[in-house]
Structure 1
């Protein structure tokens, strides 16, 4: 009977402690958030290998309980290796981006799931090189600027750690051009309203740490 009573008291204590936790953000909170993507593909039929790496960290500060502002970085690398006539050809692409964002948390589903809308703007540069088995030639760099509006959510695992979901860019505008004299800019405007049918077909997943 004593053991049963102690077990009951312990369970009640855990329940109360769990209920006492506060999941969410407050003014002056800092967050560090990161999205990571890595893949390797080996197409034996085409005798081609592809490796991809992308890392996108964000650093934010809450100016109110629901609004955060901050900066973001983007680092990417892709390598394609292909064999042709017993000659190995390698194509490498590197990218780097920096920008700023503002985020508004507008909906809570339960105590742990927080949904937000986000507006961001940034600068991006893409370069690389190609080796044909004998010579290595640098690719012409591409520089660009973009603005995007999207939605996402955080699901809190603990008071300070949350799983991040960046569902989609609902609207985006991009302008880019080759880094050579006389090059003309190319612009793109995209709206992805149809992704509301299936968020997870375009979602990115990461982790958020509240400091």
Structure 2
């Protein structure tokens, strides 16, 4: 146990010595569909390491919960779905000025979703996600990713198949903190 603790301390010290090379960010969402009586929320932390000015590697973790409620006769029925995903990526920044950076995340993702009283469904995706970062100050950036180009099979809250999509359902917005 002491060796593991010492290894963690040494790794944290080594990583913290590289100023402005690591980043942490992500997003959250809360949604209420009044017509269908569905409540949902998700949290998706994102972390990565800047290898140089153009390339970074990172991963996004995601958790989502959806609760559906409906009346069946005199009974109030509920159904819950929990979903998890991990999506490692390589980020290439192809344009940058003092404020704006355009990038593309190239990666793959693995997910599992479990509906109440049903078997889990596992899925994956492989593809590209274009993005935009707006530098707010030396440490914080506003990040948005719009769309997806690639292939998905039963992936976390997405449609199956291959192609390119740039609709409003594929927009993510968040904040990154570089340290």
| Structures share fold, TM-score greater than 0.5 | yes
CA shift for structure 1 position 123: 1.1
| Kept after mapping to 2: 8 A contact 1:58/1:72 | yes
Following the alignment from structure 1 to structure 2, what is the Cα–Cα distance between the partners of residues 125 and 86? 33
Whether contact under 8 Å (2:20, 2:178) holds in the other structure is: no
- The 1-side partners of 2:169 and 2:77 are apart by 33
Secondary structure at 1:159's aligned position in 2? coil
Shift of 1:42: 2.1
| Alignment partner of 1:121 is 2:108 | yes
Residue 75 of structure 1 is matched in structure 2 by: 63
Scaled by the length of structure 2, the TM-score of the pair is 0.80
Length-normalised TM-score, structure 1 = 0.68
Unaligned runs of 5+ in 2: 1-17
CA shift in 2, pair 1:125/1:200, >3 Å:
closer
State the SS of the aligned residue for 1:150: strand
* Equivalent pair of 2:140/2:178 in contact (CA under 8 Å): yes
- Residue 164 to residue 127, structure 1, CA distance change in 2 (3 Å): same
Number of residue pairs the alignment of both structures matches = 158
Which residues in structure 2 correspond to 1:149-164 (within 5 Å)? 149-164=128-143
Residue in structure 2 matched with residue 206 of structure 1 by the alignment:
174
In the TM superposition, 1:58-207 aligns within 5 A as 58-108=46-96, 110-129=97-116, 138-169=117-148, 171-176=149-154, 188-192=161-165, 195=166, 202-207=170-175
RMSD: 2.2
Q: Does 1:29 align with 2:8?
A: no
Runs ≥4 residues deviating over 3 A: 199-202
| Gap regions ≥5 residues in structure 1 | 1-25, 130-137, 178-186
- The structure that has the greater radius of gyration is 1
Q: What is the rounded CA distance, in whole Å, between the counterparts of 1:201 and 1:94 in structure 2?
A: 19
